[in-house]
Amino acid sequence: MHRWLESIVCPGMAPQVIGHSNYEIADLLHISIPSSPPSAARLEPPEPMDFMGPKNETPILRTFIAHLPEAVQLVKQIYENDSLITKSNTVQPTFRPGKPMNGSSNILIPFEAENVATYLFKLPFNGTKELWDKSSERTLETEVHTMKRLFKSIPVPFVYAHSATTENTIGCPYMVISYIAGVPLYDVWFGHHLHPDTISLETTEKCRERALDGIAQAMVKLGEFSFAKSGAPVFDDNDDVVDIGKSRFVDKTAMAYATPREGNQESAPSGAGQLIHQAAESRGVARAVMRGVSWLASLSPFGIFSIQRRAGPSAATLDPDVPGDMSDDSGDETEIVVFADWGPTSDPKEYYTRALDLHPQDHVYSRGVESLLNKFISWLLETDVSEDPRGALPKSTPFVFAHPDFDIQNFIVDTDGRLMGIIDWDGVEAVPRSIGNEALPGWLTRDWDPVMYVYESAMGDEEALRRGYQPNTLWEDSEEALARYRAIYTNLIAKHSPQLQAANAARVSRRSLVSENLAIAASDPVCRSRILDKVVSEMWEAYKDGISDTASSGDDFVSETDLYPTFYDIAQLYLENEVDDFLLDRLQAAFKALLLKVESA
């Protein structure tokens, strides 16, 4: 019998062990395995079963299982040459695959010896011959070399072996990395909610600050890498960056409009059609991939949330009326992740607007919304504190490394909150410093992304908590708590930065509350309007508070509420072609007031 590690896991993370069960790999995947399979044996699927039939298995997982003997042999070879672990001189352990886990775009399979995970196979969802392409190959190579380079300075998994092609003994692209023991940061961050009988709020708060300190220290170290261009790093054989090349990003606009609703076919942005058509050529495989993603997400209540944050509702929504639905009854066959190649560039604004530039809008309302967003981005970069001469990097190198998915699911800590590992570097690139390594973590800025922020008052209601309240989705922090932890984190960024850069690093971090959310608005049409509505509302509040001398001097309309239009009012003015220079001047003054307000928070 294969011993399986039964666990509750967050996507891409080491499991939190809660017990052990004897499962056969064939039982979980519903694949028949001979009692003593030869090394070249192929594993054939039986008839579909009630819980999960072959239609819900990802093609990449089936490929891996078919080459399981070769995978075990590779792990044995790695173990024999592994100098990072303590080994017995007399007994070689028997390695067995553990329970698959899901990352945001990968399947993770731990290999265990004596029920202790040691190595982890990381398999990309699209790692099939039909879907794997040069862009995917380049992205995997970049991730591998980045992790090897960063391993010298921050806690990331060690890369033992990899292949960026489908032509290998495993039959698919893969990475074999070290297994980082620990618990998901989410479990520690909300420990007082998840384990109220044993963990107090006071203990949780200490763990949170300890975790933020380790994360800030690691992120500051990423500032050692700065570049003149934005894009994916190109490495030499010594894992040193020698150039910046093309990168790729998830094209959420193409995904959101993959299947325009009946009667609304013109809603799809121009440029999306060709990408969607190209993806549709492999639709059968892509459909199986995303069905498998849905199944893997079901292994953890956190899983589907990660997919939604990464790819937008088109990859997670279960509403049959919404494009991208993954339910069997929807009849929709567009559950695909669309990537777009991009760059490199030396212009920070081009990074922010790359998704907008890829899909120019035809409708006057959409053009108006994007015009306003472009104005905000331009005003942000006109006063970019990352170019401030008081200690920041010089203007000639305005780009830095940043984690490609700087959110809570990609951090592993111990039970006291000490940082153990940072995972999921898929898609790493050099980004503008304003949203780079000094920026705030994603889970501390959620309240400015209303589509994603699902805080309920009961989450902070002691009486409701005593009655056993449990959220329908995930635990969230209140806006007040998020503001407090943002202040803590920016102080930690300053603490760990070189002395001459500390003050400016903290300013970059505080301002990233605005810059990060503008970047999300530019890349994700689903979140765009609600984020802009939040920004405009906060702008007028800052303006009326008189934070900015420039904004408040000489104005005779401060008390006129009808002259503080909402985002939707402004969008309507664009629709009617009634946006004049006077309004734009007021908007710019208010936006600058907002930046000053967040910098002083």
Query: Cα–Cα distance between 552 and 177 in angstroms, integer?
Result: 56
The residue count for the chain: 601
* Cβ neighbours for 205, distance < 8 A, ≥ 6 positions apart: none
Q: Which helix (H) or strand (E) holds 150?
A: helix 134-150
Is residue 279 pLDDT above 60, yes or no?
no
pLDDT digits (tens, 9 = 90+) for 495-519: 999 998 999 999 999 999 999 999 9
Is residue 16 pLDDT above 50, yes or no?
no
In the chain, where the domains are located = 4-179, 189-244+350-599, 252-337
pLDDT-wise least confident of 116-125, 389-398, 583-592: 389-398
Query: Cα–Cα distance between 203 and 155 in angstroms, integer?
Result: 24
Query: Cα–Cα distance between 69 and 33 in angstroms, integer?
Result: 12
How high is the pLDDT of residue 52? 32
Is residue 162 pLDDT above 60, yes or no?
yes
* Beta carbons within 10 angstroms of residue 279's beta carbon: 20
pLDDT-wise least confident of 187-191, 470-474, 562-566, 580-584: 562-566
More confident residue, 387 or 210: 210
pLDDT-wise least confident of 287-291, 564-568, 586-590: 287-291
Which residues share a beta bridge with 412?
184, 421
How high is the pLDDT of residue 281? 38
How high is the pLDDT of residue 216? 99
Q: What angle do CA 546, 551, 552 make, to 5 degrees?
A: 50
pLDDT digits (tens, 9 = 90+) for 413-469: 999 999 999 999 999 999 999 999 999 999 999 999 999 999 999 999 989 988 989
Q: What is the helix, strand, coil percentage profile of the chain, to 5?
A: 45, 15, 40
How high is the pLDDT of residue 494? 98
Residue 309: pLDDT band with limits 50, 70, 90: very low
How high is the pLDDT of residue 562? 61
How high is the pLDDT of residue 116? 75
Query: Cα–Cα distance between 289 and 336 in angstroms, integer?
Result: 8
Return the percentage of the chain with pLDDT > 90, whole number: 58
How high is the pLDDT of residue 337? 79
429: three-class secondary structure by DSSP = strand
pLDDT-wise least confident of 208-222, 233-247, 375-389: 375-389
pTM: 0.80
Over residues 157-174, mean pLDDT? 97
What CATH number was assigned to the domain covering residues 4-179? 3.30.200.20
Over residues 39-53, mean pLDDT? 30
Query: Cα–Cα distance between 587 and 555 in angstroms, integer?
Result: 13
How is residue 141 written in tokens?
A: 């190579």
Helical spans, DSSP H, in 190-239:
191-194, 201-222
How high is the pLDDT of residue 34? 31
Buried b (16+ CB within 10 A) or exposed e, 476-486: bbeeebbeebb
More confident residue, 333 or 563: 563
Over residues 193-210, mean pLDDT? 95
How high is the pLDDT of residue 24? 35
pLDDT digits (tens, 9 = 90+) for 353-382: 999 999 998 888 888 899 999 999 999 998
Residue 386: pLDDT band with limits 50, 70, 90: low
More confident residue, 206 or 18: 206
Is residue 272 pLDDT above 80, yes or no?
no
pLDDT digits (tens, 9 = 90+) for 50-101: 223 344 468 899 999 999 999 999 999 999 888 887 776 666 788 889 889 8
How high is the pLDDT of residue 21? 31
